[in-house]
Amino acid sequence: MKLSFEAGVEAFRREFVEWLAANRPTEAERAAEPARSSAHVPDWARRWARRLFDAGWLVPGWPPELGGRNVGPVEQLVYLEEMSRARVPRTTNPQGLGIIAPSIIDYGSEEQVRDYALPILRGEKAGCLGMSEPGAGSDLAALATRAELRGDRFVVNGQKVWTSGANYADFCFLFCRTDPAAPKHRGISVLLVEMDRPGLRVKPLPEIVGRHHPDLNEVFFTDVEVPASQLVGKLDNGWAMASGSLAHERGMVWLEGVLGLQASTGRLIADAPRWLARMSETERAGHVDRIVRSWADAQAARCLGYRGFARLVRGGTAPEQALMKLMSSEARQRVALTGAELQGARGLDASAQEGYFTEWTPLEQYFVTFGGTISAGTSEIQRNIIAEKVLGLPRG
């Protein structure tokens, strides 16, 4: 058990911090063209991705040809810590960098890596992830969007929903059913579908706050023709990729939750005194207790995450990891609500401006945090997974 990292890791940290200070996008260029969606890559973001890629700072754990420098998991963790501390977005197409590009690199053809994965990494293209459907949410394997192989092309029919960034993406990493006769987990394949194909229609789905800049969409496919060469990996073998792709950087996904939670807790504590000063002593006590609990949540998430991480690095298993998404998404909800209630009636004000990366007011943030407890497996599903997979309770 050790609180510090080894000297070599700290040297790595210093090297990155220095590079970051010299190369980060400026506040001015970011403000001039804010990213409007999780697949919108403004010019500054494109240039930023290219700088990261060329310098080997995009995914440090990968080899240089993929924008990395072959460092180990501890360095990768330190890198993400510093990126978060500097409050610089690593990418404006997180699902592209985190899930789509790695899946293509692992499963795709050389041409697909050249035409889709590398352009994502260099900020030249943005992808969206076609997974959920009206009838397939938590039960993703129930997806019904059909891709029928006819000669040298697939014909796609069906509908996706909650597709982040589909309104800005260049292509979709689409999970579809290629063998309707097979059991539901088999018979699923992945296609790379250009968003400008005839028969493909995107309908933005304005969200609970920030309706002028929707990121979620419905995507309709009507006889959309896709060349057979756009199949990623083997036919009917897409489910492996669904679990596989979601597991990309899974060893690190927890860290985003923790860093986000720490940042919002830090802001709450910095902002709290001026609101607390207006209150009576009894009223203040309740608020203070909730703020301290949020601070404790952030510390707990950090310690639990680092403990699991240490186990993974040593080659063991880390059942704690299954807890992290549940814990940090619910904690973020609490911290936002605490912040909103602290401000009383003033907390009801709406943000003056909005965009995909807007700093929402605490009350808006509170609504936004439900995205965390609903998407990628609701909190209820997370509890089922913990109960069944980690604790070994029988399925109901």
Partner 1 sequence: MDLELSEEQQALRDGVRRVLEEQCPPALPRAVHERAETGLALWQQLVALGWPGVAIDEAHGGLGLGAVELCLVAEEIGRAVAPGPFLATATQLAPLLQATGDAPLAHALLRRIAAGTVTGSLALAEADRWEVARVACRARREGEGFTLAGEKTAVFDGASAEEIAVVARGDEGVGVFVVPGSAVKATPRTLLDPTLALADLTLDDVAVPAERVLIAPGLAAERAVERALEVASVALALATVGACRRIFELTLEYAKLRRQYERPIGSFQALKHRLADMYLSVERATALGYFAAATLAEDDPRRAEAAALAKAEAGDCQRLLVAEGLQLHGGIGFTWEHDLHLWLKRAKVGDALLGSAAEQRARLARRLGLVAA
Q: Which residues are catalytic?
A: 249
Nearest residue (CB) to partner 1, 168 versus 309:
309
φ, ψ for residue 237, nearest 5 deg: -115, 25
Minimum distance from CB of 308 to partner 1 (Å)?
8
Minimum distance from CB of 217 to partner 1 (Å)?
32
- Residue 190's SS3 state is strand
Nearest residue (CB) to partner 1, 51 versus 284:
284
Q: Which of 155, 108, 150 is nearest to 127 (CA)?
A: 108
Minimum distance from CB of 385 to partner 1 (Å)?
8
Q: Which of 121, 180, 122 is nearest to 147 (CA)?
A: 180
Residue that the structure tokens 């360095």 belong to: 75
Alpha carbon distance 377, 325 (integer Å): 9
Contact of 331 with 264, CB cutoff 8 Å: no
Dump strand ranges (E) for 18-170: 127-130, 146-150, 153-160
Nearest residue (CB) to partner 1, 223 versus 388:
388
Nearest residue (CB) to partner 1, 166 versus 331:
331
Alpha carbon distance 36, 165 (integer Å): 9
Interacting residues of 87 by C-beta distance below 8 A, sequence separation 6+? 263
Minimum distance from CB of 271 to partner 1 (Å)?
11
Nearest residue (CB) to partner 1, 235 versus 300:
300
Q: Which residues bind partner 1 (CB under 8 A)?
A: 1-5, 269, 272-273, 276, 284, 288-289, 291-293, 295-296, 299-301, 303-304, 306-307, 310-311, 314, 320, 323, 326-327, 380, 382-384, 386-388, 390-396
Alpha carbon distance 73, 302 (integer Å): 16
Q: Which of 200, 169, 45, 199 is nearest to 100 (CA)?
A: 169
Tokens of 21: 């200070």
Minimum distance from CB of 361 to partner 1 (Å)?
21
